[in-house]
């Protein structure tokens, strides 16, 4: 992926990994557009980064997402990079679920359906650019789940699978398809994450991920060292032991 001279749309760009990526790409001179549901956080991010643009959008609303994609493509005709980053993570007790499953359905809509819908809506625009890229943000939990968050992990496993298929189908186009695979990072994705000493500091994660992109621009999967234990648990023969160690932790 070319790291400069792009027009980049990042969902969930007002906080956490999304904001970290937005600021890193903005610092490299790219035009960055951030989108998400929390207008105040988007505005806070753009205020701290002059020249960055933001648009509030309800990622759960399919019609609103299509309209947003059309508006963004029209206003930014040079748009050539889509980073599907927005996500929500909630703990679930599968033995005591509410009848409506609204929480699980919101995670599926945000973490899986929104990236699929936005990719489909913007693919014609990306195909017309001299070079373009789609980066889907999955998780180390796509490869070894945290039992406390089953639906979240399932959506990330699905994003990994979708990304592989998308990459294969687009292999003869000018669109690169990358997967960013974060480890446990200190963000506010769940309440306890931000201050957990076991979590990788956000600044260090962003710096290492951007360094991989700079050194290995054709790398299909962006894996920092901290996530390799999860990403390659099955290949290393350590899946069962790692699963137990992570899920039996108290």
Helices assigned H by DSSP within the chain: 16-27, 39-48, 62-75, 102-108, 114-127, 150-169, 202-215, 228-231, 233-236, 239-247
Report which DSSP code applies to 218.
T
**Contact yes or no for 107/89 (Cβ under 8 A):** yes
Nearest to 30 by CA among 9, 55, 56: 9
Query: Does the active-site annotation cover 249?
Result: no
Maximum CA extent, the chain: 51
Set 152, 162, 184, 249: catalytic member: 152
Would you say 65 and 118 are in contact if contact means Cβ atoms under 8 Å apart?
yes
Give the residue numbers annotated as catalytic, written as ranges.
152
């Amino acid at each position: 992926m070319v790291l400069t001279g792009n027009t980049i749309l990042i969902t969930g760009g007002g906080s956490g990994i999304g904001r970290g990526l937005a600021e890193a790409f903005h610092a490299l001179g790219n035009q960055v557009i951030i989108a998400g549901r929390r207008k105040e956080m988007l505005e806070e991010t753009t205020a701290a980064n002059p020249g960055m643009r933001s648009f509030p959008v309800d990622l759960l609303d399919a019609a609103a997402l299509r309209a947003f994609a059309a508006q963004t493509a029209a206003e930014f005709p040079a748009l050539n990079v889509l980073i599907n980053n927005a996500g929500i993570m909630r703990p679930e007790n599968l033995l005591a679920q509410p009848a409506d499953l609204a929480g699980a359905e919101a995670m599926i809509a945000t973490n899986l359906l929104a990236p699929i819908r936005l990719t489909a809506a913007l693919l014609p625009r990306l195909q017309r650019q001299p070079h373009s890229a789609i980066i889907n943000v999955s998780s180390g939990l796509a490869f070894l789940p945290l039992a406390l968050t089953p639906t979240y992990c399932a959506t990330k496993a699905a994003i990994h699978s979708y990304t592989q298929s998308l990459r294969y189908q687009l292999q003869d186009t000018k669109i690169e398809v990358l997967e960013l695979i974060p480890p446990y990072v200190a963000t506010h994705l769940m309440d306890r994450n931000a201050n957990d000493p076991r979590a990788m500091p956000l600044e260090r994660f962003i710096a290492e991920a951007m360094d991989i992109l700079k050194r290995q621009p054709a790398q299909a999967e962006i894996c920092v060292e901290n996530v390799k234990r999860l990403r390659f648990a099955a290949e290393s023969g350590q899946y069962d032991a790692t699963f137990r160690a992570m899920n039996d932790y108290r």
